[in-house]
Structure 1
Amino acid sequence: MKMTAETRSNLARIALMLGVYLIFASRIPSYYSMAGVAALLDGAVLAGIIAIGVGLTMIAGEMDLSVGSMAAFAGILSIKFYAFGILPAFLLVILVCAVIGAIQGYCIYRLNISSMVFTIGTLIALRGLTLVISQEKTALIPFEDIAQTDILSTKFFIFSIPSIILLLLVLLVDFLSRRTLWGREVFAIGGGRSEARAAGVSMKRPIVLIFSLSAALAGLAGALLSIKSGSASPLGFEAVVLEAVTACLIGGIALSGGRGSIPGILIGLFTIRFLVSGIAALGAPFWMQSLATGALLIVVIIGEAVIRHVVRRRKFALSAQPAA
């Protein structure tokens, strides 16, 4: 059975991820202990869940930059809703964020405006709204109720409930993106808007749904981390969008749209987490994490560009050969 280009690409990314892991595991004994692996999984939850939604918008040729503010907004809401119980709090937060995301997606579709410009505006507006509803203070779960959040820290072998949710979401969203009409529409509009319109593909449905899903996932991530820690800051999660977008790019999502996969995002995410956590564990200064992540991203992008150039030249050379 012939291996697809996407499979070859993901295998190369897995090799890179394992290479980064093994480099640090050889220097840090805790890296391959159960506790160390569990900590790595937990550290990937916030950016991972958000990266799934951001990756979908990128595949569609769009970009959601409001996810950091959405996660902070959801964190404050989850603490406010906690009096109804953990599960109702999660469901209410996800519903509110999904509605906001759907409105955002509809406005982007209807106004035919750049999603990057629009979501920057949403980022600022949500940050202000979060400060208003929190009264510019960190929201706290009442001390007498804090023990109820311990369930989110319970370990099942190396997995916690948040890390299990991350892995289940990867499987679910990957299935939806590959096996449903909506998923095919997302790839179609990302691959070429004019061609998609000519083929009768709806623009409204996929755009509204991807922004609704992106907001809902950002809300879930913000609520998970806030309830687990028992507190939420109105200015939290500001930098998460950078890690999410970087994970998508290293995972093979094209900025131009139409190319990439959800498992690839997970591979990119863990490549970053292994790199950043390893550098931190070795006691390197904080700026080294950003420098190394940026360097890794540049190497991956240049490597991909070189490979695509070689493949195009090879195809051109083969097509130019006269038939025997």
Structure 2
Amino acid sequence: MTSETKGNLARVALMALVYCIFATRIPSYYSAPGVAALLDGAVLAGIIAIGVGLTMIAGEMDLSVGSMAAFAGILSIKFFAFGVTPAFIMVIVICAAIGAVQGYCIYKLNINSMVFTIGTLIALRGLTLVMSDEKTALVPFENIAETDFLSAKYLIFSVPSFVLLALFLIVDLFARRTLFGREIFAIGGGRSEARAAGVSMRRPMVLIFAMSAALAGLAGSLISIKNGSASPLGFEAVLLEAVTACLIGGIALSGGRGSILGILIGLFTIRFLVSGIAALGAPFWMQSLATGALMIFVIISEALIRYVLRRRRFAYSARLPA
């Protein structure tokens, strides 16, 4: 059993513990409508966390995803006249193109991605305000019935939750089984070593930021069209939840370590915690406090485990005969 598998099993145990704690207090947690609500509540942060996680695995960070999602939401309402599917496609293509340009600039100019994407965050938020005239955009009332399929339930699943789970499966296979996915892990594990092995820096950099932007665009447009409205100032807090899901899921800030499956586990650990606290009627600040405490606990625990394992390996190697 690999160390990654052991880590994910420990995270699943933590997720199950959090779920069971609240399920004993909240009967709706194990009812079909309750589980469906938990899945739907995870869609926005979950889709965005996949893209953010890919940039973190590569040793980078995309801070612009909240603004990208808001931009996509307004854009999807503007494009709604062309039909729901064309609106989604156009928004995803535009967001992916912006992300690809962003990734290329970060690669070409050798700029820190956090600094660059803060600029993109501010620029996109301003552009979104201009596009919307600083007002909430609404799906025309006569067309609102066209969005009903996004709220329809199939057992405990809706179309958005199906999309979320399908994306986790597809991106996990991409990251583990393709050359492009291995390149992302390679540049995150060590840039000098990756260059020495002949790995191109440009391709994975452009790819991860294009995917992050496309996924943020998909999430923003999906939620906006489902709700029938989009705010230019929406989705400001989603970055924090996405990054927290990645960190709890075992993605290393230094890059080169983690898995898409781990992000999924981290995502539902947070959703079980936040939704449970909200259902118990606790104040909003308690959700932030509990999420931060959980993240700190997981990070410290993993750091201590790695420290103990390094000490054991060092002690074992010291006992070997010269």
TM-score tier, shorter chain, comes to over 0.9
1:260 is aligned to 2:282: no
1:87-121, CA deviations, whole angstroms, 9 ceiling, x for partnerless residues? Answer: 00000000000000000000000000000000000
Letter in 1 for 2:137: A
Name the counterpart of 2:52. 54
1:219 CA displacement: 0.1
1:231-266, CA deviations, whole angstroms, 9 ceiling, x for partnerless residues? Answer: 000000001000000000000000000000001001
Residue among 308, 316, 319 paired with 1:318: 316
Letter in 2 for 1:198: A
Q: C-alpha separation between the residues in 2 aligned to 1:178 and 1:305?
A: 24
Name the counterpart of 1:234. 232
Q: C-alpha separation between the residues in 1 aligned to 2:137 and 2:65?
A: 19
Q: C-alpha separation between the residues in 2 aligned to 1:277 and 1:29?
A: 13
Name the counterpart of 1:40. 38
1:128-147, CA deviations, whole angstroms, 9 ceiling, x for partnerless residues? Answer: 00001111110000101001
Letter in 1 for 2:19: Y
Letter in 2 for 1:160: S
Letter in 2 for 1:295: A
Q: C-alpha separation between the residues in 1 aligned to 2:237 and 2:57?
A: 21
Residue among 111, 136, 143 paired with 1:145: 143
1:290 CA displacement: 0.3
Name the counterpart of 1:212. 210
5+ residue gaps, structure 2: none
1:47-103, CA deviations, whole angstroms, 9 ceiling, x for partnerless residues? Answer: 000000000000000000000000000000000000000000000000000000000
Following superposition of structure 1 onto structure 2, how do residues 1-324 of structure 1 map, counting pairs within 5 Å?
3-323=1-321
Q: C-alpha separation between the residues in 2 aligned to 1:301 and 1:97?
A: 32
Q: C-alpha separation between the residues in 1 aligned to 2:304 and 2:68?
A: 37
Q: C-alpha separation between the residues in 2 aligned to 1:322 and 1:112?
A: 44
Question: Alignment partner of 1:234: what SS?
Answer: coil
Q: C-alpha separation between the residues in 2 aligned to 1:200 and 1:293?
A: 41
How high is the TM-score relative to the length of structure 1?
Answer: 0.99
1:322 CA displacement: 3.1
Question: Alignment partner of 2:203: what SS?
Answer: helix
1:6-34, CA deviations, whole angstroms, 9 ceiling, x for partnerless residues? Answer: 10000000000000000000000001000
Q: How many residues align?
A: 322
1:323 CA displacement: 3.6
Q: C-alpha separation between the residues in 2 aligned to 1:74 and 1:176?
A: 24
Letter in 2 for 1:45: V
Letter in 2 for 1:195: E
Letter in 2 for 1:139: A
Q: C-alpha separation between the residues in 2 aligned to 1:221 and 1:116?
A: 21
5+ residue gaps, structure 1: none
The RMSD of aligned alpha carbons is 0.7
Letter in 2 for 1:313: R
Question: Alignment partner of 1:208: what SS?
Answer: helix
Question: Identity across aligned pairs (percent)?
Answer: 81
1:262-315, CA deviations, whole angstroms, 9 ceiling, x for partnerless residues? Answer: 010010000000000000000001100000000000000000010000000010
Question: Alignment partner of 1:255: what SS?
Answer: coil
Letter in 2 for 1:181: L
Q: C-alpha separation between the residues in 1 aligned to 2:261 and 2:221?
A: 23
Letter in 2 for 1:63: M
1:170 CA displacement: 0.4
Letter in 2 for 1:297: M
1:191 CA displacement: 0.3
Q: C-alpha separation between the residues in 2 aligned to 1:54 and 1:297?
A: 17
